Amino acid sequence: MPKTAFKVDLRRPPEQAEVKTHNRWHPDIPMVETFKPGSEFRVECFDWTGGQIDNDDNANDIRDVDLTKVHYLSGPFAVEGAEPGDLMVVDLLDIGYLPESPWGFTGIFAKENGGGFLTEHYPQARKACWDFHGIYTQSRHVPGVRWAGIIHPGLIGCLPSRELLDRANRREAELLSTDPNRVPPLLAPPYADTALMGQMTGSKAQQAASEAWRTVPPREHGGNCDIKNLSRGSRIYFPVYVKGGGLSMGDIHWSQGDGEITFCGAIEMAGWIDIHVDLIKGGISKYGITNPIFRPSPIEPRFAEYLVFEGISVDETSGKQYYLDAHVAYRRACLNAIEYLKKFGYTGEQAYVILGTAPVEGRISGIVDIPNACCTLAIPTEIFDFDIKPNTSGPSREVPTGSDIAACH
Ligand code: ZN
């Protein structure tokens, strides 16, 4: 087992930890440790909310979660000799859950606090908890499904440069100004009050926190990409923007469907990641890199059979025609899948959570056939205990009446 370079203690709030996590991105966040190229080390991570969610049957904690405090990230780590213009080569050697915490959660976020891809249809906070059994997971809140995890960090990236920080802050401020009071908001602007700046303290930390990026979106440095195939066994090539690189990570997912559609749509957990680091000097210009690139893992759950739902870029409520809009088309594909799964006895919320958590494949299938984009959502049929394929006798109601994911009370 490689040396643990970052430890977390789930019995204490992250704010009281000796080596502090960070929940913002800024070029001046101090490195936790420097490793030579070729080093291996283990990084432990809180779940993305820093322990705000409990393993119980009440969604009040999802409804009330403080989203200005996320994501709790472990790092940053420097690689000796890394300079702007290089590529940091990061192998995710292995990933697992912390032995004292063999469970995960999925939230449907309230429209007033986070929202989600289908928030107009499912505006209330809800929660599902998942137990891990070896490589498999099951949920008391979502009967009839079981599958092997495709474990990955939802969030991993290197520190941004000062120039990149300023550039993204400008473009995001411009977007926010178009509709500053929207619910849910267009984006999360800098917010100093709950900022954790790692090992940076005092007035320097306060000043940096007022301009530091929130961790919500993916950007040129990587960040919160939420790519399910960035799983254990993958190799990622990160553009280096500051001296040392500054690799940080967190938001570990046991499993996730393409799009992570309920927003906290994956199976979220606390865990550990074994990392190997290396460098490609001058790699950014050698390979024409702007955003990270990666090679997926040779190990992923394999499914032989899928049922695929199509969606087109026509709004489901107004009937309005959109022009090649993949966002609308993917939403329609998801809604079509949910309506289908409801015929087997699932509530809409249970079906929504299955699409967020199971390894469903989302694709832009057609993007040139004016005026409709065509997006598809492929559900592996083998995750279900029962047959979900269409047949002449129609769907059998397999899900026990009264079963649902957790509501607020
Ligand atoms: Zn996540």
What integer pLDDT is reported at residue 263 of this predicted model?
A: 85
CB 212 within 8 A of CB 23: no
Question: What is the reported pLDDT for 170?
Answer: 98
Q: Compute, in angstroms, the gap from residue 251 CA to the centroid of ligand 1.
A: 5
Distance 103 CA to ligand 1 centre (A): 14
For residues 382 and 136, give the distance between their C-alpha atoms in angstroms, rounded to a whole number.
13
Note the pLDDT tens digit of each residue in 318-354. Answer: 999 999 999 999 999 999 999 999 999 999 999 999 9
How far from each other are the two terminal CA atoms of the chain, in whole angstroms?
A: 43
Residue type, 231: S
Distance 278 CA to ligand 1 centre (A): 26
The rounded Å distance from CA 403 to ligand 1 centre is 25
- Please state whether beta strands 293-295 and 87-97 pair in parallel, antiparallel, or not at all (unpaired): unpaired
Tell me: pLDDT of 264 over 90. no
Q: How far apart are CA 322 and CA 339, in angstroms?
A: 22
Q: Tell me how far the alpha carbon of residue 269 lies from the centroid of ligand 1, in angstroms.
A: 8
Q: Rounded distance, CA 90 to CA 278, Å?
A: 7
Q: How far is the CA of 372 from the centre of ligand 1 (A)?
A: 31
Q: Say how many Å lie between the CA of residue 97 and the centre of ligand 1.
A: 14
CA of 144 to the centre of ligand 1 (A): 23
Tell me what pLDDT residue 21 has: 97
Mean pLDDT, the chain, whole residue set: 97
Span 8-14, average pLDDT: 96
Nearest-angstrom CA–CA distance, 76 and 71: 14
CATH 2.60.120.580 fits 3-295, yes or no: yes
CA of 268 to the centre of ligand 1 (A): 6
Span 76-134, pLDDT tens digits: 999 999 999 999 999 999 999 999 999 999 999 999 999 999 999 999 999 999 999 99
Based on its alpha-carbon atoms, the radius of gyration of the chain, rounded to whole angstroms, reads 21
Distance 297 CA to ligand 1 centre (A): 19
Rounded distance from Cα 390 to ligand 1 centre (Å) = 33
Alpha helices (H) along 241-323:
283-287
